[in-house]
Structure 1
């Protein structure tokens, strides 16, 4: 394979109450609120972006907060876990923090030789905090309550739960250039040979398990990094040759996107690294203004009147 996808660009999930989501991820998790905008297909719904200082690809968790959304159900044909990388020695800090916030969590355990802590966010999204085998040197966003010694570095992995992993594994290897790195029982870890942090994709084979339902507390889609639009078109062509329908390149303002469903049913996105989140706000002001796509700007007053206030 001449090239390989570097890793995860962002992960988008669905939540319920916008204020509760904002409070949890900025205060409890200590992530930076990188962008406050709206859903391109539903401008009366927010689209929140959380990440590091700049919203660097590989750190960006985004949410569509639908106030009255029903709860989702974890199962097959979906992404079921969002994994973050945390520093060595920080597990106790996160245990105490989650406990103080009355969050549901499991005792620390080990997977592929790495210690991890699993918890559910306020909407039931399954999140894992993992101390990676290799030190993650990415510079974290710090807050008054979450210092660099404990702060998340960005994504560690995403987990897909599938009825049959083989078709998805074939795509990861033949199109994305990924390699099977480790396997234990029914969990298979694939990684980009680039060695970039935040590239792991875990496939869990759950034959006979109930199909999941994407709604509140569920991952909506997983986006992978594209260097630029030219590389994105090359991967789009490879996907189309497999008989998988891919969208045209779509302008999402902060990146260009191509969407398709991988063979296991999970919605994948190919997202360019640029132009990034400072295209419409200075770095120091990221997340402080409601930014609207150009087509919705004439409706700003009406849109703002219907969006829940965060502060």
Structure 2
């Protein structure tokens, strides 16, 4: 391929109650709500974006929250774990933090270089916090609930579960430009660089895994980074030339996107770094009000009436401080 991804851009998952989702990811995980908009393909529900201060690509986890959504089934053909990077030596603090809000977690060590704290969000989505020996220089969001010295730095990795790893590994290496770093017990680690946080995909081979069902508590798709739309178009043409069914370039307001499904079943997106989340509201006010793209703006009243009413806690809101007392 002429094009090569620089790493992870975002992960999008499906949730149930949007207020519960907001409470967990702002107050529990300490992320910033950087955009409150709607699903452009289904404007009757929100699209909520969480990340660092400015919503930097590689820091983002986003949700389509549907009230009353049925639970999905985690299995093959899915991204089954979303991992975030945190500083070394902080997992004990995080475990106590989650215990204090009634969230069970467990710590494991796969190697001398990497320790993980695993938990599930209120909808059952698997979240890992990874403390790696590889440095992560990204600046955290210094929230009211999680001090900066412990805070999430951004995405660390995504896990893909497949029954046959071969075709998925070929897509990641030949079509996305990733490099296989190693394999252990059917778990393959790939990276766009040398395994730094935000550049990693782990492929897990599970011959007995049931096919996953995308619904509540599961990942809808994972997105990889490209710098701009010109690079994205080159990639789209090359993927189509290799036989993939690739969408047209879609305007997502804060980036543009193409989508295709890798052979193992996971939906992949290629998303641009530009234009970013501050094109329609100031940096200091990100996520405070409902933002709509120009083509949906004429329907604002109907959309506002259709989506659930939610309260977005400000970082200096006393309710946030009281949550942990």
Normalising by structure 2, report the TM-score. 0.93
- Partners of 1:224 and 1:143 in 2: how far apart? 26
User: What's 2:323 paired with?
Assistant: none
User: What's 2:316 paired with?
Assistant: none
Matched residues, number: 311
- Alpha carbons of structure 1 residues 300 and 2: separation in structure 2 relative to 1, 3 Å: closer
Does the alignment pair 1:270 with 2:262? Answer: no
- Give, in angstroms, the shift of residue 3 of structure 1: 5.3
User: What's 1:126 paired with?
Assistant: 126
* Correspondence list, 1:153-164, <5 A: 153-164=153-164
**Is the 8 Å Cα contact of residues 31 and 141 (structure 1) preserved in structure 2?**
yes
- Partners of 1:241 and 1:132 in 2: how far apart? 38
- Give, in angstroms, the shift of residue 258 of structure 1: 0.3
- Partners of 2:143 and 2:82 in 1: how far apart? 22
**Is the 8 Å Cα contact of residues 4 and 226 (structure 2) preserved in structure 1?**
no
User: What's 2:204 paired with?
Assistant: 204
- Give, in angstroms, the shift of residue 132 of structure 1: 1.4
- Partners of 1:65 and 1:105 in 2: how far apart? 23
Residue deviations 1:235-271, cap 9 Å, x none? Answer: 1122112211000111100001000001111000000
User: What's 1:8 paired with?
Assistant: 8
Residue deviations 1:161-219, cap 9 Å, x none? Answer: 00111101011111111111121101100001376630100000011321111100000
- Alpha carbons of structure 1 residues 179 and 112: separation in structure 2 relative to 1, 3 Å: farther
User: What's 1:27 paired with?
Assistant: 27
SS at match of 1:89: coil
- Partners of 1:91 and 1:258 in 2: how far apart? 36
**Is the 8 Å Cα contact of residues 3 and 231 (structure 2) preserved in structure 1?**
no
Q: Which moved more, 1:69-78 or 1:294-303?
A: 294-303
Q: Which moved more, 1:63-72 or 1:108-117?
A: 108-117
**Is the 8 Å Cα contact of residues 17 and 67 (structure 1) preserved in structure 2?**
yes
* Correspondence list, 1:76-225, <5 A: 76-111=76-111, 113-193=113-193, 197-225=197-225
User: What's 2:321 paired with?
Assistant: none
**Is the 8 Å Cα contact of residues 107 and 115 (structure 2) preserved in structure 1?**
no
- Alpha carbons of structure 1 residues 112 and 261: separation in structure 2 relative to 1, 3 Å: farther
**Is the 8 Å Cα contact of residues 7 and 197 (structure 1) preserved in structure 2?**
no
Instruction: List alignment gaps of at least 5 residues for structure 1.
Output: none
- Partners of 1:137 and 1:12 in 2: how far apart? 24
- Partners of 1:112 and 1:204 in 2: how far apart? 20
SS at match of 1:265: coil
User: What's 2:239 paired with?
Assistant: 239
User: What's 1:297 paired with?
Assistant: 297
- TM superposition outliers: structure 1 runs of 4+ over 6 Å: none
- Give, in angstroms, the shift of residue 309 of structure 1: 1.8
User: What's 1:248 paired with?
Assistant: 248
- Give, in angstroms, the shift of residue 109 of structure 1: 3.0
- Partners of 1:199 and 1:218 in 2: how far apart? 21
Residue deviations 1:107-150, cap 9 Å, x none? Answer: 33335730111100000000010011211110000112211110
Normalising by structure 1, report the TM-score. 0.97
